[in-house]
Amino acid sequence: MKNTFVFALFAALFLLPASGAFAQANDARRISDLEQDVQALKEKVGELNIQLENLARVNEQLRDQLAKSSQTNAGNLVTLAQLDAQLANLRTEMMRAQATQKNEIIDEVGRQIERLAQQTQQAIQSQSPSPAPAPAPAATTANFPKTGVSYTVQKGDTLSAIARRFNASMDDIRNANNITDPTKIRVGQVLFIPQKAK
């Protein structure tokens, strides 16, 4: 995914006119910053995987010690089944925490990608001799679930990230809030997030 994204950004940068050398240098710096951020996130995930492996190793050692001790002093120790149940609970909690952190990382990378794409588009438009035609507004319909929740847009939010967070359709959110341009949501804006009945 990283290689595809970097390739797409470089392709967009090559479309800039030669007179936009300053903008290209600026975009290259931003790309470098984003690559460093992605590398830092990968290192963090790697550290978490190492910690998980260490915990599994410690748990295995504890299980071995318990098995040896239970042979000599079975009445005073927890049973192996109880330890297995606790280990299963611990494993479930760790997997849940890892999934949450992974989603947060994906959301943050998505926000950074969208910001960089907007900056790249602005740089391209600022270099073009005549303004590009505005995109036609997307048609909104009344075709969306009528039940849902309200959400106030926070700094750094994007429509796609909000849709993922609430497990909702981006089109449903756009239709429910009459949003023609999904890049123009603003901080403090209250959105109705339609959700399908369970």
Whether 56 and 115 share a structural domain: yes
User: Residue 153, SS3?
Assistant: coil
Beta-bridged to residue 191, according to DSSP, are 151
Q: Give the residue numbers spanning the domain of 164.
A: 148-194
H/E element holding 110? helix 80-127
Question: CB 176: neighbour CB atoms within 10 A?
Answer: 21
pLDDT computed for residue 80 by the predictor: 79
Whether 57 and 119 share a structural domain: yes
Give residue for tokens 């929740």. Answer: 149
> Mind listing the pLDDT tens digit for each residue in 22-41?
667 777 788 888 888 888 88
pLDDT computed for residue 15 by the predictor: 54
**Token pair for 32:** 């470098």
**Domain assignment present for 134:** no
Residue pair 9/116 in contact (Cβ under 8 Å)? The answer is: yes
For every residue of 43-94, DSSP letters joined together read: HHHHHHHHHHHHHHHHHHHHHHHHHHHHHHHGGGS--HHHHHHHHHHHHHHH
CB within 8 Å of 143: residues ≥ 6 apart: 175
**Domain assignment present for 39:** yes
**Domain assignment present for 43:** yes
By mean pLDDT, which of 16-25, 52-61, 96-105, 130-139 is the weakest? 130-139
In this model, does residue 4 exceed pLDDT 70? no
- CATH number for 165: 3.10.350.10
Give residue for tokens 């960089």. Answer: 116
- State how many domains the chain has: 2
Predicted TM-score (pTM) above 0.75: no
> Mind listing the pLDDT tens digit for each residue in 162-176?
999 999 988 889 999
In this model, does residue 115 exceed pLDDT 90? no
pLDDT computed for residue 134 by the predictor: 39
Beta-bridged to residue 192, according to DSSP, are 150
Q: 149 falls in which pLDDT band (50, 70, 90)?
A: very high
